[in-house]
Every structure is written in structure tokens, then in C-alpha cells.
Structure 1
């Protein structure tokens, strides 16, 4: 299939998988990613193995990202990071895309990834120098204008002064490119549901209430979850279906991934904190999928499952008289700092329990720019706001084809998917593109 070109929008695991599959068939791929680095959200997650592999799929992401440079150096995949699609003209077999690339303020050709700039950056928190999410995939760094003191009106050039390769370029500007392609794959991923979508659950209001995606990233970076006072939570509650299966917020679909990652994270947490007491509150549990029944079975003697959804989460209020929290709820045994009030489905009553931390297992939402993407590539959205496929999986299709010939979908931009499911879908998408291109060439 020499001479054929495919534009892939999105450099997460779906886009990277489709790109590599196409490249192996001799197709030239232009991979466009809006972030400064490839990998997407899945690259920020960590292995959730306990005493054995739980088949979360994170290692598959790392393996693919570390293999990608081979294709890039061979010239079969061209990467455009920090780039967005502005328009897509033409038809299947002869598309012309206009792409805008924002400056990263670091010359990729010069940067050696030595880390000298990281050591001197005075910006608060993690600093203004961004690094690749997975070690060994890309060596260069980028400057985040949102954090950099220079973009806040302050005089600072410490990173430029420290760089031995003179790679820092504060004067870099945006550029426009025209990309010719025979087909387009949209693999723009998803967004985690807002952990604050249900305000009564306390996210952003009370110490110890976390979003599931946050906990995943925290455990990946530090291996342990800490509260603001530095303590490690011993009693942890997971609350399922936050941001999905809820008509009141217009998200009636199941995100499919939340039960699986909650159980895996619970086991991983028990591995580092064996004495931890973990409870998962749920409507019902999704225990299907590769390795998931085994994960559920492993949880049965380590994690308590409660079929009942929390109504609200509030901090423990100390009694003025005795300085204890006893009497806040109906448990009497108040040892944590948060009170979870929930409905016990089987007993048809409201109960209260105390925990040190509450993890809101957020679902999957369409990307916030889904409408913009759909308009620019000329396709539709489904009723949930995901990019629309004409061969819907619910009707027995693959979920890769759209209303515009030559434009395909890969991964969680089309519907919620786990990492392994996303990889399989991206492979199927690449095969569909190859099949179409082969038919057109013939």
C-alpha cells in the first residue's frame, strides 16, 4: 500500500495503535496530537497489579509508546505534537487538512532531555517544564505558558540560561500546515467525568474526597495516597457510577470501566496498605471482560461490597461536650474524618459510616471539544455526545465508520472503552481503513 497516506487525529493509545497498524502495512501516517506529548490519558495511569497481574492494560500502553520511535525514525509515521485540525476539505481518497501547530518553546531538534531546565525552574508546584508522561518514549521537554513566570509578566530566563544545548526559544510562534491524506482516523479520546458533578459527595469541598482518575495518577507517581496532613487513609470508600447512569445529569449510559478500575485500585491499595479497610458502594457490578472475574474473586475476601448508593459525604463534626464524633451517625463507631450517608438497598434504610477517604469512581464523558471536532471533520454526534458511528456496536457493527466516507473512528471517542478494548477497536479501525483503501486502489 505504498504511496497511501492516512491522517490520524489524536496521539493517545487509540491513535498510536491505529498509526502503527497502518505503518506496518506500508501506509504513511501523519499523527496529530494537541498535547505536547503523545500517550493521552492512559499514559498517566500505572500498573494495578496486586500479587499478580490484573490485566488493566497499562503495560500495553507503555509497550506501544516505547515502540513508536522505531516507526518515527523509519519515516513511516510523522508526528505533529501541539497541533489541532482547523479544517478538512475534499473527499475519501483526496482529503486536504489544515493543521495549526502551537509553539512548545523548546526546539525538539536541540533538546537532549538533560533536565537542566527542570532543576532551575522557579514556577510553583511541578514547575513550568513539562516532561513526557512515560519515560523512554520522548527525550524532549516543553514549556507550559500557563505556569511559566515569563507569561505572567515577570522577568525570568533561568531555563534558557541553564540549557547547554540552547534549545529554549521564547520567540517561537504558531504555524499552519496543509496535510494531504487518503483517509482520516479520529481518535481524540475521552474526558473523565467531573468528580464534582454531584456536589453532595463533597469533591472540592472536603479533605479526603478524591476523583478516581486523580487517585490513579497519585498512586502512579508516589505509590501511596496521602491526606493533607500527610496521613495515609486506613478506611477508604469507593463510590461507583459518578458521572454516569444518572438521568438527572443527562448521563444515563454505563461507562463500563469504573467498576473494573475501582476493584483493581482497591487490590493495589491493599497491597501497599494491607491493614486498610476498603468498601465499594455500587448499584450493580460490571464483572465481565478479560481478567475481570478473577479480579472480582480476589476482591471478595479483601474488599467489602455494599449495594447501595451514597446520598452525601460530610466531614465528621466533633461533639461539643466530649470532643468525639460519636453520635454523628447511627454507627456509634466513628473513627474516620468523613461520614458517608447511603441507602442500604437490601434493608431499605439509610445508614451512615465513617471513612478517612472517599474515592469517586468517575465515568467516561465525551471530550469537551467533541462538537468542534465533529463539525470540522463533517460527522455527527450520538445522543450521548460521543462521535457518531454508522456501524454501531449495538447493531452488531464495529463502530468505526462515520457518515462521511473516508473518516473513521477509533477508541473511546466513539463510546466508553477500557484500554484493551480501545486497542482492539483501534486495530479494527486500521483494518477497516486498509480494506477501504485497498478497494479504492483496485
Structure 2
């Protein structure tokens, strides 16, 4: 049980950057919190990201998120429940009684080597891969798994170490809290939903998140074709600002992180040729001004055009086809590597959580961060923060989490 007769506590749903920041801020006020995270580890998407600084800090904020997790794990006021989801939330006499559900035994961590054979075998995309401080972890989303409904056991058959037991029963747990902070974050766009871009079908086409993971581990961009990377393309706004995909919003983070990835790669390989395909460039920092970089570096090309498609070229490399800016023609160019800068989408379970909380989602599927309905929920001790209210980078998520914690602290003080 969280809290007690003389102790007030906060339940934080989501253990990413905003949730961790909220918990640390609450701790400074002397308020205990319990973070419930559906992934097997806390840290969120920031766990996947790489430091972009080669010789000096470039303000990518990855270290900010990593340090916050380190301090939070050592904080006695912060408690963690990972691999769990909120199944039921009820308010009674001003307190919240929350039922959690988890499946801790489906994948035996002592046997699992994170080889990802189960992930490749799963036809329902029910297995997620997460980066923790100890390395990669795999987890099965029981709601997406077809074992109970169709008797599927593809992942279990694929596991040579017999680390998967799909017959494990769910475990329930109840916690109580005086306030709730929703910090469930967002979901990276799945580029397979836009097959024109060749992800999964054209060798050498990867996502920005995959590039981040590789740099995090190896310190350089991947070479999926094994021929050396002399020419790389970054394709912006993949899953953002695209009405065809019901993705109307700018994801805000893609320009910043793609630019810092490109600069890191260029610093590591002085001979690297870099091309950016973009609609509009929206830098948040002077260091991220692509057009200025392209004007002063003959190995950097800024092409204001959204690719029509990415296909396999005759030389076995990915070929980008695009409309020539200010021209009626079509051009194509081959690359050793194409990085798709994927945007941020709302979580698929936002509607379920919104119904549970008595909240409403905005037109793009994110929670409202302000307005009359939000004010009404805040008066009952429910607060929304971070990328669950719309795309945010690490710095903005951390600041938003701290702000939500301050609101929650004021609410608890007023309820005394």
C-alpha cells in the first residue's frame, strides 16, 4: 500500500523521462511516489538514445535522462513496479485505489539471452524489445498475444533456451494513492505503415531509433550492407505531418535528433556525404540549423523534398526517388544507408486509460494538457504530463514532469 494515515503518496503511471522527473521532484518535497511502468525497466525511450557529443556536449539531453534514472533508483521515496499495467482505478473518500496486473514469469530472465528469436517469430508483434541499464530485455504484451485466443505459441517454439512459458498466470497487486500523475509517453511511428519507404523490404533502410541504438553500442552508424558507409540519407517527417497516415502533427523532436546524429556521424567520418530530405526545417537550437550547415559544408546536402519512394537499386543499395524542388521532374539517388526519422504517435491504450480516468483525448489521440476538463481532473488529484499530451523532447518532458509534480504537491497540501 502506498502512503498511510500521516503519509500522502502519488501514483505515477509511466516511468519515462517525465515520470522519473515528477518522482524526483516529489521526493524533494518529501512526498513518496510509486512508478508503475509497463515495460520491464524504467527510463522510457531515452534508454535507446545515444550521446551525440564526440568532443563536447551538443545538448542532446540523453545524459539528463540517464542521470535522472540513476538518482531515482537510489531514492528511498520512489518505489517501482515494472512490467505492470493499471487494470482498474477507483476513487474512494478522496483516495485512489489502483489495481495492477503483471505477468512476471512469462519470460524467465535467468534463461533469456535477448537473442530476439522470439521477436522475429511472433506474427502478432506482441513482443517488445527494451533497453535497460543491464542491456536489452524482451517482454510479451499479453493483450496483443494470440496464445489465449488462438493457441499461438510461435515465440515459445522459437526459444531454444526454453525461457518462455505462455501458461503463466497474471499476478494482481493493489496500491493506494492520494494523487495520480499520468506520464505514459508516446510511441515511435512504425515505418512499415508507409511501405513506400522500403522499411523491412529494402536492405539498408533503418529507423532513427535503430541508428541511435547502434551508435549507443558501437559509437558509429551501422553498415547493414557490409560495404562501408560513404553516403547516408536522412528522411525527415516519417509518420509526422502526413494526413494519409492520420499523422497531422509535427513530432518536434525529429529535426533536433537527426541533426545531432548526422553531426556525430560526420565527426566520426570526415569523408561521409550526408543528404537530408525534408519538408520544413524546425531547429530548436542554433547548432541544429541544417541550412546553415549545408551552406558551409560541401559534404552536406539539404533537399527540400519528401521522397516518393525508396526502392532497391541495381547496385543493391537503397535508392531514394523524389521530386526535384521547384521543378516538375523526378530524381533518384543511391545511398549506402537511409535513416528514416520516425515521429511520435499516441499510445494505442490511451483511450482505455482515458475512460478509466474520466478523461478525454484530443483530436490527435493524445491527452489534453490544459483546458476545463483538465482543470476538473486536477481538482480531483489527476495530472497529465510529458509526451502523453503531445510530442516532447527529453528536456521538455523533464520540465513538464517537474511542473506536474509541483501541481500534485500543492493539491496534497490543500487536501490536508
Query: The TM-score by the shorter chain falls in which range?
Result: 0.7 to 0.9
CA displacement 1:102-129 (0-9 Å, x = unmatched):
214799xxx9xxxx8577x8874999xx
Query: 1:344/1:92 Cα in 2 relative to 1: closer, same or farther (>3 Å)?
Result: farther
Q: Is the 8 A contact 2:156 2:166 kept in 1?
A: no
Q: Is the 8 A contact 2:156 2:165 kept in 1?
A: no
CA–CA separation in structure 1 for the residues paired with 2:165 and 2:247: 44
Q: Which among 35, 48, 51 is matched to residue 52 of structure 2?
A: 48
Deviation at 1:153, TM superposition (A): 8.8
Residue equivalent to 2:340:
360
> What are the within-5 Å matches in structure 2 for residues 255-334 of structure 1?
255-288=251-284, 292-296=285-289, 299-300=293-294, 301-302=296-297, 303-317=300-314
Q: Is the 8 A contact 1:106 1:142 kept in 2?
A: no
Query: 1:350/1:65 Cα in 2 relative to 1: closer, same or farther (>3 Å)?
Result: same
Residue equivalent to 2:131:
133
CA displacement 1:367-425 (0-9 Å, x = unmatched):
12111221222211100001123339xxxx9x898577321111101100000010011
Two-structure CA RMSD over aligned residues (Å): 3.5
Query: 1:266/1:402 Cα in 2 relative to 1: closer, same or farther (>3 Å)?
Result: farther
User: So what's the TM-score if we normalise by structure 1?
Assistant: 0.79
Larger radius of gyration, structure 1 or 2? 1
CA–CA separation in structure 2 for the residues paired with 1:141 and 1:228: 20
CA displacement 1:264-313 (0-9 Å, x = unmatched):
1101111222211001111111112xxx2123278333422111111111
CA–CA separation in structure 1 for the residues paired with 2:167 and 2:358: 35
Q: Is the 8 A contact 1:192 1:365 kept in 2?
A: yes
Q: Which among 235, 238, 241 is matched to residue 234 of structure 2?
A: 238
Q: Is the 8 A contact 1:104 1:143 kept in 2?
A: no
CA–CA separation in structure 1 for the residues paired with 2:154 and 2:325: 53
> What are the within-5 Å matches in structure 2 for residues 363-402 of structure 1?
363-391=343-371, 402=377
Deviation at 1:317, TM superposition (A): 2.5
Residue equivalent to 2:80:
79
Deviation at 1:40, TM superposition (A): 1.1
User: So what's the TM-score if we normalise by structure 2?
Assistant: 0.83
CA–CA separation in structure 1 for the residues paired with 2:170 and 2:408: 31
Please state if 1:183 is matched with 2:179: yes
Q: Is the 8 A contact 1:206 1:314 kept in 2?
A: yes
Gaps of 5+ in 1: 160-167, 319-335
| 3-state SS of paired residue (2:192) | coil
Query: 1:173/1:359 Cα in 2 relative to 1: closer, same or farther (>3 Å)?
Result: same
Residue equivalent to 1:414:
389
| 3-state SS of paired residue (1:299) | helix
Query: 1:313/1:402 Cα in 2 relative to 1: closer, same or farther (>3 Å)?
Result: farther
Residue equivalent to 1:328:
none
Q: Is the 8 A contact 1:12 1:38 kept in 2?
A: yes
Please state if 1:97 is matched with 2:98: yes
| 3-state SS of paired residue (2:289) | helix
Residue equivalent to 2:157:
152
| Count of residue pairs the alignment pairs up | 392
Residue equivalent to 2:407:
432
CA displacement 1:199-254 (0-9 Å, x = unmatched):
11111110011111111112212223334442332111111111111112211111
Moved over 6 A (4+): 139-143, 168-172
Gaps of 5+ in 2: 121-127, 142-152
CA displacement 1:23-81 (0-9 Å, x = unmatched):
2211121111111111111111110124322111100111011111221xx2x122111
CA–CA separation in structure 1 for the residues paired with 2:137 and 2:208: 27
| 3-state SS of paired residue (1:358) | strand
CA–CA separation in structure 2 for the residues paired with 1:315 and 1:253: 30
Residue equivalent to 2:206:
210
